[in-house]
C-alpha cells in the first residue's frame, strides 16, 4: 500500500486519491497521469468563472430589458429570444439561464427608493458558495 497518498474532496462529496509512488519498491519520479487532480481542480475553477460570467450577462440583459421596456421581462426566456427583429438581450438560448451545475440561476427583482427597478442574480455551487455580481 502506498504511504504517500493525497485526497481531495471535490463538490463536497467526490473523493479522488492519487498515489505518488509505484507499487514496486523502487523510487520513481513519475507524475500522476494527465487529467488527474490538477485538471479536476481547474475544472471546478472554470465552472465558477463561467457561473460568474453568466451572472453578469443575465444581470446586464435584465437591466437592458428594463431600460428599453421600463418593465421586467414577464418570462426570463424572453431575454434569449429575438424581439421585433432585433438581437436577443442574452445570447446562448435557454442554456444561458442554467448554471454550470445544471441549476437555474436565482433572480430577484428589486425596486430602490427612487422607484428604479434592478435585478440581483446569483447561483450557488454544489459546496454552497454563493456566486453573484460581487464575487471575485
Is residue 124 domain-resident?
Answer: yes
Q: Quick one: pLDDT at residue 9?
A: 35
Is residue 24 domain-resident?
Answer: no
The count of domains in the chain is 1
Averaged over 105-115, what is the pLDDT? 91
Q: What is the dihedral of CA 18, 22, 26, 31, to 10 degrees?
A: -60
Which of 16-25, 53-62, 66-75, 114-123 has the highest average model confidence (pLDDT)?
53-62
HSE (CB half, 13 Å, CA atoms) of 58? 30
Is residue 90 domain-resident?
Answer: yes
Question: Looking at the predicted structure, is the pLDDT value of residue 19 above 70?
Answer: no
Rounded to an integer, what distance in angstroms lies between the CA atom of residue 39 and that of residue 25? 28
> How, if at all, do strands 106-111 and 14-19 pair?
unpaired
Domain ranges, residue 92: 46-132
Is residue 76 domain-resident?
Answer: yes
Is residue 103 domain-resident?
Answer: yes
- The three three-digit cell numbers of residue 93, written as one number: 438560448
Question: Looking at the predicted structure, is the pLDDT value of residue 88 above 80?
Answer: yes
Is residue 29 domain-resident?
Answer: no
Is residue 1 domain-resident?
Answer: no
116 or 37, greater pLDDT: 116
Q: Quick one: pLDDT at residue 84?
A: 79
- Could you tell me the pTM of the whole model? 0.68
Q: What is the dihedral of CA 132, 46, 92, 99, to 10 degrees?
A: -50
Rounded to an integer, what distance in angstroms lies between the CA atom of residue 52 and that of residue 62? 16
Amino acid at each position: 500500500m502506498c504511504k504517500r497518498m493525497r485526497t481531495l474532496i471535490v463538490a463536497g462529496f467526490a473523493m479522488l486519491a492519487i498515489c505518488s509512488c509505484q507499487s514496486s519498491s523502487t523510487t520513481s519520479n513519475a507524475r500522476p497521469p494527465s487529467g488527474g487532480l490538477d485538471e479536476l481542480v481547474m475544472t471546478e475553477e472554470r465552472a465558477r468563472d463561467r457561473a460568474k460570467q453568466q451572472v453578469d450577462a443575465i444581470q446586464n440583459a435584465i437591466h437592458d430589458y428594463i431600460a428599453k421596456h421600463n418593465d421586467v421581462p414577464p418570462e426570463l426566456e424572453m431575454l434569449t429570444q429575438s424581439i421585433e427583429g432585433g438581437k436577443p438581450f442574452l445570447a446562448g438560448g435557454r442554456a444561458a439561464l442554467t448554471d454550470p451545475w445544471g441549476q437555474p440561476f436565482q433572480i430577484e427583482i428589486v425596486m430602490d427608493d427612487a422607484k428604479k427597478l434592478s435585478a440581483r442574480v446569483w447561483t450557488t455551487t454544489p459546496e454552497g458558495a454563493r456566486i453573484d455580481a460581487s464575487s471575485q
